[in-house]
Structure 1
Amino acid sequence: MSQRAPGSARPAYAGKAAVTGVGYTKLAVSGEPRSVLDLALEAARAALADAGLTAADVDGVCSYGLFNDSVTSQAVGTGLACNDLSFTLDLNNGGSQPAFAVLNAAMAVASGVASTVIVYRALNGRSGKKVGSTHFDSPSGQFRYPIGLNSYPQYIAMWSRRFMIETGATSEDLAAVVMKQREYSALNDRAVRRDPLSLDEYFSRSYVVEPFRTVDCTVEVDGAVALVVTSVDRAADAPVTPAIIEGGAWVTGRGSGLDIADLHSWPDFSRNCQHLLAPRLWKSAGLGPTDVDVAEIYDCFSPAVLYGLEALGFAERGEAGDLIRSGETGLTGRIPTNTHGGLLNEGYVHGMNTVTEAVLQVQGRGERRQVKDAEVSVATSGVLVDGSAIVFRKGN
């Protein structure tokens, strides 16, 4: 691993906070729906048990949602029977938030505002409001809906088509993403999609909106994922290896925040938020792409993996598809990527499970999909105008 540059500016929280426990509910695509609060509490309790803690240890709770599809952090604190809380935070913007939520928890811990923070995402993404097909009220809806531009896959498809034109990426590159991640998901008992997929089978799948076939789109689920953030000193007593938070970054791109379709004001559809935040991410961690052992790239749709690999410096522009086909994103490759099978296959918990997979890998708890000697991992959150990323290092 390369040495940090002397005198490099790093945020005050870097290296001061760590993730210990993680917890999951079942990621469900069928069955009787449960309340979102019930899901959140199950995942949070599992994360606390994993960390060897109880609700009495918790003084902070943090979460995020999208269009009021979750429950508040205060409600989860009450449901867990925590004592008085000194830090609660409820973010919005869905999948751009998970890494940012963990960074906020790390800042709270490092500054002394809180000592132990639960970070969770819970939703009924299958039985309730579906991001992929819901008409969300917005100022531009009166113009978009009458002409049929009415769902999130359509917006991302526009970006992806421009990316493919500008970089030379092909449908075969999208297929490579999906097939490689199926190899990982076959090793993951939590994954919703686990069957291997051949190239012919990929091309036999019907289109949702070009260039996306059904398997290029993530699986919406009911479920929850949670983790525990505490100080490095406290984490030393945990029953699991801590994942130290080495750095991270958030970016709000120009023109963001006015409308669900504000992405259309982005100046270059062939680049995304990860391209903007990459320099500040690596500076914050004092590391670079060559120091990373495993990458967990937010993948609500398959092209997001190509964007992310190129944006973070793991592949040159236009070469991410070749990198995947070469085997370098596989378990024994140069940069194993989306080792849980990605959101495409494990299930869409708006990227919280992308972050927890990065934690599990540096903790050495990836089970059959564990990357050998993984010491540094990176996880990204978001694919369009807003996004975040975080770097973890294996603790002692």
Structure 2
Amino acid sequence: MTLNGLNGTAAIAGIGETAYSRSATESALELQLRASMLAIADAGLEPTDIDGVIPVGITGAPAEEYVHNLGLRDLRFSGLVPHGGASAVGAIQMAAAAVATGIATTVLVPAGRNVSHGAKAGVRIHSMPQFHYVTEFERPVGALAPAQLYAPMARRHMETYGTTSRQLAEIAVAVRSHAVHNENAVMRKPITVEDHQASRMISDPFRLLDCSLESDGGAAYIVTTPERARDLRHRPVVLRGCAMGHPDSPSAITQRPDMTSVGVAKAAPIAFRMAEVSHADIDVAEIYDCFTWVVLCQLEDLGFCAKGEGGKFVEDGRLRHGGALPTNTHGGLLSQGHMLGMNHVVELVRQLRGDGGATQVEGARVGIVTGYGDMGDGAVAILEGA
């Protein structure tokens, strides 16, 4: 298969998400199943039409749970993408490859989490095998939570390039301005740069409003061929480019020669070449935002601006609705809810269908979505509304 072999070979035909909250009474599995049924119905399909499944996240249930609970009769493909927040976007690539080669015809990608009645991410995350890399340098000094692990990356960027906390605040404020209009967002109260600056320090330089939410919910999407998608309920959203990338070794963040670049830097050139589009063609962006600095870093690594210029790039409302690059139009992980980046995929599909509501980007045709996981794994997908 050539470099652009996945361009135009797959489409997202259905999306679904539950309410996001901090008080779900359903289990993570139940939330995944509910979101799955919503996505299947959105596509105009039945559960028996599903012949592939890629559960996302460390709470992802095995394929057998979907066979049993949804009544799948002909499951021919199942897989996992074990890269934390990069998994939801990475699964687009895996599902597209399965569909393009005929291994499966209709792939369900679900996720769900309930942290209200379980371990928070900062505790549970260290059960993941890749986190053994932090045991030598980080854990001995008490760096256990994601905010503590990623804060040195942001601080290095500040010291090297002069990036400021107020520039990070611009990202938080822009994302919240979108969540204000989203009824399915946990945090809808408007905030200002001064609110950000007054929020308490979590792990220098991250303040409270630099950090994503802990939330409950479920989300899912359906991947099939563009030809089949055209016969279903909505106009298809076609995959144009995708790639995954991993940061340079050593995998312990603080021991890397460059802490200011992540796996997206390797994935982006491949995805853009495959899609045969330029940065100027991107109408809307859904950028993984576990922390504000991670958005800034990815904008640089994606090539929207040069390394070190991200702080200036995000100023002057560029990321807000009506700006040059509307970003995280649903409120993102920072304000809508933390759904492992699945809600970013769902939102991009909505935007490219023209169903974005109050934050619909007028004339949106081509969009980009990213994932960031664990030690800096990156995933990129470029989608186009048919």
Q: TM-score, normalised by structure 1?
A: 0.91
Distance change (3 Å), C-alpha of 1:139 and 1:242: closer
Match of 2:267 in 1: 277
Match of 2:141 in 1: 147
* Separation in 2, partners of 1:163, 1:63: 34
Offset at 1:139? 6.4
More off after superposition, 158-167 vs 294-303: 158-167
Give the 4+ runs in structure 1 shifted more than 4 A. Answer: none
Distance change (3 Å), C-alpha of 1:310 and 1:205: same
More off after superposition, 197-206 vs 100-109: 197-206
Offset at 1:385? 2.8
Confirm whether residue 16 of structure 1 aligns to residue 6 of structure 2.
Answer: no
Match of 1:327 in 2: 317
Offset at 1:143? 5.9
Q: After superposition, where does 1:113-152 map in structure 2 within 5 Å?
A: 113-134=103-124, 136=126, 138=132, 140-141=134-135, 144-152=138-146
Confirm whether residue 62 of structure 1 aligns to residue 54 of structure 2.
Answer: yes
* Separation in 1, partners of 2:134, 2:89: 29
The answer to whether the Cα contact below 8 Å between 2:244 and 2:266 also exists between their aligned partners in 1 is no
Q: After superposition, where does 1:62-211 map in structure 2 within 5 Å?
A: 62-66=54-58, 69-134=59-124, 136=126, 138=132, 140-141=134-135, 144-211=138-205
Match of 1:39 in 2: 31
Q: Any idea what the Cα deviations from partners look like across 1:18-68, whole Å, max 9, x if unmatched?
A: 001100011121253x222211110000001111111111111112223xx
The number of residues matched between the two structures is: 380
Confirm whether residue 219 of structure 1 aligns to residue 210 of structure 2.
Answer: no
Match of 2:288 in 1: 298
Q: Any idea what the Cα deviations from partners look like across 1:42-101, whole Å, max 9, x if unmatched?
A: 0000001111111111111112223xx331133123211111211111232210211111
* Separation in 1, partners of 2:115, 2:378: 20
More off after superposition, 106-115 vs 313-322: 313-322
Distance change (3 Å), C-alpha of 1:234 and 1:187: same
Match of 2:384 in 1: 393
The answer to whether the Cα contact below 8 Å between 1:61 and 1:74 also exists between their aligned partners in 2 is no
Offset at 1:141? 3.2
* Separation in 1, partners of 2:224, 2:239: 10
Structure 2 letter corresponding to 1:46: L
Once the two structures are aligned, what percentage of the paired residues are identical? Answer: 35
Structure 1 unaligned segments of length 5 or more: list them.
1-8
The answer to whether the Cα contact below 8 Å between 1:16 and 1:110 also exists between their aligned partners in 2 is yes
The answer to whether the Cα contact below 8 Å between 1:160 and 1:303 also exists between their aligned partners in 2 is yes
The answer to whether the Cα contact below 8 Å between 1:16 and 1:245 also exists between their aligned partners in 2 is yes
The answer to whether the Cα contact below 8 Å between 1:134 and 1:151 also exists between their aligned partners in 2 is no
Offset at 1:167? 2.1
The answer to whether the Cα contact below 8 Å between 1:294 and 1:335 also exists between their aligned partners in 2 is yes
The answer to whether the Cα contact below 8 Å between 1:10 and 1:285 also exists between their aligned partners in 2 is no
More off after superposition, 190-199 vs 145-154: 145-154
Secondary structure in 2 matching 1:14: coil
Structure 2 unaligned segments of length 5 or more: list them.
none
The answer to whether the Cα contact below 8 Å between 1:36 and 1:124 also exists between their aligned partners in 2 is yes
The answer to whether the Cα contact below 8 Å between 2:18 and 2:218 also exists between their aligned partners in 1 is yes
Secondary structure in 2 matching 1:26: coil
* Separation in 2, partners of 1:391, 1:321: 24
* Separation in 2, partners of 1:116, 1:175: 41
Matching residue within 320, 334, 337 for 1:347: 337
The answer to whether the Cα contact below 8 Å between 1:375 and 1:393 also exists between their aligned partners in 2 is yes
The answer to whether the Cα contact below 8 Å between 2:240 and 2:275 also exists between their aligned partners in 1 is yes
Offset at 1:146? 4.0
Distance change (3 Å), C-alpha of 1:346 and 1:140: closer
Match of 1:5 in 2: none
* Separation in 2, partners of 1:370, 1:162: 35
Secondary structure in 2 matching 1:249: strand
